[in-house]
Amino acid sequence: MRKIMIIGSGGAGKSTFARQLGARLDIDVYHLDALFLKPGWVGSPRTEQKDVQHELVRKQSWIIDGNYGGTMDIRLQEADTIIFLDMPRLLCLFRVLKRRWMYHNKSRPDMGEGCKEKVGWAFIKWVQYRETRRPKILSSLMASSQEQQVIVIQSPRGARHLLATIEANGNTPRLAEG
């Protein structure tokens, strides 16, 4: 586990998990939202996103959290481990609303500067990830699983278990669910 991509729905806990994993493995963590969202929630051009990610994946080790489907193939090609936080929809919605309350009128640490926390209907609809995007992502990940370690985590307990396993001995299961 030296080149790790973390994906999942909004509110799944990608950034928090990435920070915790990075601390345990002593690997730099890159939050795509912090890299590609400019003040006022303005996204970087796709060419810039691709250039930055091509540079990141050349590094000896990295943890990259975020989906950015239009550039996901860059990370998929170079990752040795893919972690899909496949959390329940209601948990994700709760976390999104909690995050909105906690960071009211502020930017989160894993977000681009000047992107004050907000929740709109478009984002809440995107959190329906499990129903809309999940089947395609799982199919794609399982196709990759011959060359890469794919870990699907379906609960906060499963995430804590994986982190504890890594902290205890550095080994991870081929496929973790929970």
CATH number assigned to the domain comprising residue 139: 3.40.50.300
Its domain, for residue 118, covers 3-169
* Residue keyed to tokens 């499990």: 130
Is residue 12 a part of any domain in this protein? yes
Six token digits for residue 45: 């051009």
Q: What is the pLDDT of residue 178?
A: 42
Is residue 175 a part of any domain in this protein? no
Is residue 69 a part of any domain in this protein? yes
As for how many domains the chain has, the answer is 1
Q: Work out the pLDDT band at 68, boundaries 50, 70, 90.
A: confident
- 42-43 and 37-38: which strand pairing? antiparallel
Tell me what percent of the residues of the chain surpass a pLDDT of 90: 40
Q: What is the pLDDT of residue 100?
A: 66
CB atoms near residue 48 (< 10 Å): 12
Is residue 177 a part of any domain in this protein? no
Is residue 174 a part of any domain in this protein? no
pLDDT higher than 60, residue 106: no
Q: How far is CA 34 from the centre of its chain?
A: 12
Mean pLDDT of 69-91: 90
pLDDT higher than 50, residue 175: no
Q: Return mean pLDDT, the chain.
A: 80
Q: Work out the pLDDT band at 26, boundaries 50, 70, 90.
A: very high
Q: Work out the pLDDT band at 40, boundaries 50, 70, 90.
A: confident
Q: What is the pLDDT of residue 18?
A: 96
* Residue keyed to tokens 């060359």: 147
Q: What is the pLDDT of residue 11?
A: 85
Q: Which of 14, 9, 45, 47 is nearest to 31 (CA)?
A: 14
pTM given for the model: 0.79
